[in-house]
Amino acid sequence: MADQDNTEAQKAAPQPETAKAAIMPPVKVTERYHVMPSSPLPELSTPSAKAYVAEDKRNTERKLFALVCPPFLGPRTGIMEVLKGANIRGVMSLVEYTTVFWPPMKQRTILVIYERPTGGRLLDHLGQINQHEMVRRVIEPLCHGLQEIATRGVSHRQIRPSNLYFLDGSLDRLVLGDCTTVPPGYDQPVLFETIERGAAPAAGRGSGDITDDMYALGVTILFTLIGGNPVPNLRTDDEILYAKMQEGSYTSLIGNEPVPQNMLEALRGLLSDDDHERWSLEQLDLWINGRRMTPLQKKSAPKAKRTIEYGGREHYNCRTLSLAVSRAPSQVEKLVKDETLETWLKRDLEDSDLATRASNAIHMAQSQSGDKDVMATRISIVLDPKLPIRYKDCGCMPDGFGTALAHSIMQKGNANTPVEIITRSLPRTWFDSQDTYNPVYVALEKNFDQLLKFVQERKIGYGVERCLYETNPTLACQSPLVVEEYILTIKELMPALERVSAKIDKQKKPIDRHIVAFIAARLNQNVDPHIKAVGDDREEIATLGMLSLLALVQWRTKAGNLLGLTSWVGAHIGPAIKAFHSKSIREEMEKEAPILIRKGNLADLFNLLDNAEQRIQDQSDFDEACEEFELAENEIKEIDGGNSSLQKNSTRIGQQAAAMTSIVIALLIITITFLGKLW
Amino acid sequence: MVKAPRVIKKGQPKGGGGTMVLGFLALFAAMILLLVSMASLVLVVFGLLPTIVAVLVDRSAQRFAFLSVFAMNFAGIFPHLLDLWMGSNSMSVAIDTLTDVFSLFTMYSSAALGWVLFAVTPPIVTTVMTFIAQRRISLLRGAQKKLLAEWGDDVSRPEPGAAESSEEIEPSAPAGEPSAPGQ
């Protein structure tokens, strides 16, 4: 399994290991630690994260190693913070973590530094631990470690023999390995996952809780007792799942293996398929301390009188049929035709309620679209509501939807199937089918309603990108502009854009769909008005929206003066300046903008361009100018068009003037003559 | 205000009524003059011959040609008429005046001056009015040029809704937020 893990690590993590790695200088992690890209540690690598030698500059004797988080998955940074420096017995000590530029990947990512265990993996020592020492060497330290992290609100979700390490060669101190570099359960083989989470692809298993850890612990104990895989005959994931579903996990995994009598009770408790009955940490602790409890009775799923054939298998119960339907949706017509499924459920399984629910699901699917995939999903959910939502090639527990979406986008390059899950309201079907109340489901259902709204709104700041960041709080921003900068938090965005501004072609816009969605999801503030402005069809409004959004982030994150970014943004403010009608105002702004750009404050630049009073004045002056222009134009047209009438009028006026002049002259002459005669 | 269309009756000569009134007026004046002074009547009738011609020639409604000629013609007769009235007021003086070339020249040349005024004034007025219009156009074009320089070509073709309230153009999001970063 270790070999398999290593191979997977090389496959999963795209880390181009070339001869160049040999000459790569150490990478500084904070001021204190160095990580050697040229010194990999395959024996400590996980399937997704490669391990490298790390050094403490203050204490060169200290043995450390670093795990490199794959940048395409959301690391559990919250848990890193909780475990950092915690020094818990039974848990590998997390010394430090930080985001740095990692030369082999040619991009930034998170390095997590741990105390280096020297005793090797538990996997390498299977069969070497005496069954009488099992509790002391394996169960007790792991139980303690799990108790400690559980009190800190952490579930491990990566418990398997290849991720448990002995701190030294005495094989006395077993610790839980890394659980922070990948999403919960991502690297877990199906064998170590419960039936429910195991039925989902690795990316959609969801965060889970301590009950999932207890199950994985049970399988790990079984591995240790038996000295290897208890079911080597089950080669594929589906074979494992069908076996667990038919016979129950305990029966199918233990089978005829010689398990010590004293361990049976614990294994039965830990491997229970009912998460309410599964042993808790307290029960395990009591058992370790010698208290013996009544062993759990084996409960298997209700069996039908006759089997039903589907997907090349005969099914006795709903669970396997549900899984088979989701695996082969193309054959679902067979179940629908002649009410085969309803009849089987009613007559052979003797569950009329379930038959009614199945019938309703079929009718719903037929009325919704009649699509085989939707029908298969609805039927499989009704047949076993505890299994994940499985639609086409995407499957996820509701709390694992985010990771499934991220995986689909990063690996397949599109999110069509996860988006269809939302738009076809399949999560609602899943929640409606649950027969027990769970407050977590209420919150999750609300989240899905919100995701539906995001998907339906396709403008920038919404859409799939928004869903991606809303459902993956620790996923790095995937914008092509800053993906190499590996931005996990909103605080890192502005410095990253500042760094990028130094090397990027300024013709490119400083924001894109990913960055806007990232800001909307990470900034704890309603930025909808800004986003609406960014998505406006009018270029000047979109420019102002971009500026206001970035200015807000700069101000909220106290990013300081950002000369490069402001200059980059400044190269795109043209439309906002052009929106002013007055040439003199534009010239004034073009003169002032470079001065503000040199200050590096986006808010100042925004305030210059979005002076509301000035804009209103400009608009009103422009309206007046338009009116004035129109009046002048009309008068000119009137004068030009009235030339012939002017000619006519002027002749008439001229004749009138001639008559008047004659009369006046005559009167003058008469008066003068008359007066002359009198004197 | 829309002016009511002016209806011109077919067959009715322009200014026919005016000529009639003018004729009566002239007849009435002639009757008065005949009773008061026969000499004056003779002087006026012969002196105003160009005016009589003008009445016949000018068929326009306003009779500006007649007015021009009459006014100037009468101004030319008046000094002789005054001499007659201030003197013996006899027919022989009237005939002497009418046979004096200088007197006739004065009377008829003044009538000619009336014709000249009538002929020359309209082109002068037209030229002046055209000049004023052109001057106005160039002033308006100048004002438009200034507007174009300040506001650009958009001022000449305001887009639909350009004159709407300024809130329409104001970006709703940034309008609220800018004060936030700067506060």
Contact (Cβ atoms closer than 8 angstroms) between residue B143 and residue A633: no
pTM, full prediction:
0.77
3-class SS letters over A448-488: HHHHHHHHHCCCCCCHHHHHHHHHCCCCCCCCCCCHHHCCC
**B28-87 residues touching A, CB cutoff 8 A:** 60, 62, 64-65, 67-72, 74-75, 78-79, 82, 86
B18 vs A: CB within 8 A:
no
Let me know how many helices (H) and strands (E) chain A has, helices first. 30, 12
Distance from CA of A554 to the nearest CA of B (A): 8
Which pLDDT value is given to residue B165?
38
A225 is written with which tokens?
């007792």
C-alpha B97/C-alpha A334 separation (Å) is: 138
The answer for residues whose C-beta is within 8 angstroms of residue A617's C-beta and 6 or more apart is none
Question: What is the rounded distance in angstroms from the CA atom of residue A336 to the CA atom of residue B128?
Answer: 98
Backbone angles phi, psi at A229, to 5 degrees: -65, 120
Q: Which two tokens stand for residue B126?
A: 């037209």
* Weakest mean pLDDT among A263-272, A281-290, A638-647, B20-29: A638-647
Those residues with Cβ within 8 angstroms of residue A415's Cβ, 6 or more apart along the chain or in another chain = A405, A408, A409, A464, A467, A468
Contacts of A525 in chain B (CB under 8 A): none
Residue with the larger pLDDT of the pair A190 and B9: A190
Q: Measure the CA–CA gap between B80 and B91, rounded to whole angstroms.
A: 13
Mutate to test the interface with B, among A540, A607, A617, A655 (most CBs of B within 10 A): A655
pLDDT exceeds 90 at position A111:
yes
pLDDT of A287 above 60: yes
B5 touches chain A (CB under 8 A): no
Which residues in chain A touch residue B156, judged by CB atoms under 8 angstroms apart? 629, 633
DSSP A489: S
Quick one: tokens of B44?
């006026």
Q: Residues 96 to 135 of B: which have CB under 8 A from any A CB?
A: 114, 117-126, 129-130, 133
CA of residue A169 relative to chain centroid, distance:
41
Interchain contact, B117 vs A661, CB within 8 Å? yes
Bridge partners (DSSP) of residue A394 are: A391
The answer to whether the CB of A33 falls within 8 A of the CB of A56 is yes
Note the pLDDT of residue B18: 65
Closest to A577 measured CA to CA, from A610, A535, A552, A548: A610
pLDDT at site A59: 93
- Let me know: does A298 contact A248? Beta carbons within 8 Å: yes
**pLDDT score of B182:** 31
pLDDT in tens, A31-48: 899 999 999 999 999 999
A69-73, A278-282, A366-370, A663-667: segment of lowest average pLDDT: A366-370
Q: In this structure, are strands A313-315 and A33-40 parallel, antiparallel, or unpaired?
A: unpaired
CB contacts, 8 Å: A545 with chain B: 171, 173-174
| pLDDT class of A487 with cuts at 50, 70, 90 | very high
CA A242-A248-A249 angle, to 5 degrees, is: 90
The reply to whether residue A662 touches residue B79, judged by beta carbons under 8 angstroms, is no
Average pLDDT over residues A95-110: 93
Comparing CB atoms, the residue among A582, A584, A612 nearest residue B170 is A612
- Tell me if chain A has a CB within 8 Å of the CB of B177: yes
| Residue A48 identity | S
Q: CB A656 to CB B143 under 8 A?
A: no
User: Is the Cβ–Cβ distance between A400 and A207 less than 8 Å?
Assistant: yes
User: Looking at the predicted structure, is the pLDDT value of residue A432 above 60?
Assistant: yes
Q: For residue A335, which amino acid is it? A: L
Q: Hey, are the CB atoms on A529 and B172 less than 8 Å from each other?
A: yes
Select from A210, A212, A193 the least CA-distant residue to A201: A193
Place A370 in a pLDDT band, splitting at 50, 70 and 90: confident
Chain A CB within 8 Å of residue B182 CB: yes
The pLDDT score that the predictor gives to residue A30 is: 87
Q: What is the pLDDT of residues B59-101, one digit of tens each?
A: 888 889 999 999 999 999 999 988 888 888 888 888 999 999 9
Q: How far is A545 from chain B (nearest CA, A)?
A: 6
Instruction: Determine how many CB atoms are found less than 10 A away from the CB of residue A620.
Output: 13
- Which ranges of chain B have pLDDT less than 50? 1-15, 161-183
Counting every residue written for chain A, the total comes to: 679
Q: What mean pLDDT is predicted for residues A405-422? A: 91
Contact (Cβ atoms closer than 8 angstroms) between residue A447 and residue A431: no
Whether A216 and A110 have beta carbons less than 8 Å apart is answered as no
CB distance A144 to A90 below 8 Å: yes
Give CA–CA dist A409/A465, Å, rounded. 9
Phi, psi of A176 (to 5 degrees): -75, 135
The answer to whether A497 touches A509, Cβ cutoff 8 Å, is no
Mean of pLDDT values over A171-192 = 94
In A245-327, the DSSP E strands lie at 308-310, 313-315
What are the angstrom distances between the C-alpha of A354 and each of A341, A350, A367? 10, 9, 20
In DSSP terms, A111 is beta-bridged to: A68, A98
**CA torsion angle for B151, B153, B159, B163 (degrees, to 10)?**
20
Residues A496-530 pLDDT 10s? 999 999 999 999 999 999 999 999 999 988 999 99
The predicted pLDDT at position A18 comes to 47
Contact in structure between A332 and A379 (CB atoms under 8 Å):
yes
User: What pLDDT score was predicted for residue A621?
Assistant: 92
Instruction: Assess B88–A contact: CB distance below 8 Å, yes or no.
Output: no
Kindly indicate the confidence band of residue A297, based on its pLDDT and cuts at 50, 70 and 90: low
Q: Which residues pair with A113 in a beta bridge?
A: A66, A96
How much is the pLDDT for A296? Answer: 62
CB contact under 8 A, B121 and A581: no
CA dihedral B54, B59, B65, B67 (to 10 degrees): 80
Determine contact: B22 vs chain A, CB below 8 A. no
Nearest CA-CA distance, residue B19 and chain A, Å: 17
Q: Which helix (H) or strand (E) holds A29?
A: strand A27-29
**Cα A565 from Cα A546, distance rounded (Å):** 12
- Please indicate whether, in this complex, the C-beta atoms of A647 and B166 are within 8 angstroms of each other: no
Q: Which structure tokens are listed for A345?
A: 């459920």
- Considering only CB atoms, B117 lies closest to which of A551, A582, A658, namely A658
Return the pLDDT at A658. Answer: 93
Q: Could you tell me where the beta strands, DSSP code E, fall in A367-445?
A: 389-391, 394-396
Mean of the per-residue pLDDT values of chain A: 90
Q: Is B178 on the interface with A (CB under 8 A)?
A: yes
The alpha carbon of A428 is separated from its chain's Cα centroid by a whole number of angstroms, namely: 20
Give the residue on B whose Cα is nearest the Cα of A616: B166
A86-95, A111-120, A307-316, A645-654, range with the lowest pLDDT: A645-654
E-strand ranges in A403-481 read: none
In chain A, % of residues over pLDDT 90 = 73
Over 60: is that where the pLDDT of A23 sits?
Answer: yes
- Please tell me the distance from the alpha carbon of residue A518 to that of residue A468, in angstroms, as a whole number: 9
Return the bridge partners of A27, or none: A35
Please name which of A500, A18, A382 lies closest in space to residue A374, comparing C-alpha atoms. Answer: A382
pLDDT surpasses 50 at A10: no
Residue A474, pLDDT > 50, answer: yes
- Phi and psi torsions of A391, nearest 5°: -135, 125
Q: How far apart are CA A86 and CA A56, in angstroms?
A: 18
Question: A643 contacts in B (CB within 8 Å)?
Answer: 133
Cα A142 to chain centroid, rounded: 31
**What would the two tokens of residue B123 be?**
């082109």
User: Best interface-test mutation with B: which of A662, A669, A672 has the largest number of B CBs within 10 A?
Assistant: A662
DSSP per-residue string spanning A510-574: S--HHHHHHHHHHSSS--HHHHHHHT-SSHHHHHHHHHHHHHHHHHHTT----HHHHHHHHTT-H
User: What is the reported pLDDT for A21?
Assistant: 52
Closest CB from A640, A657, A666 relative to B121: A657
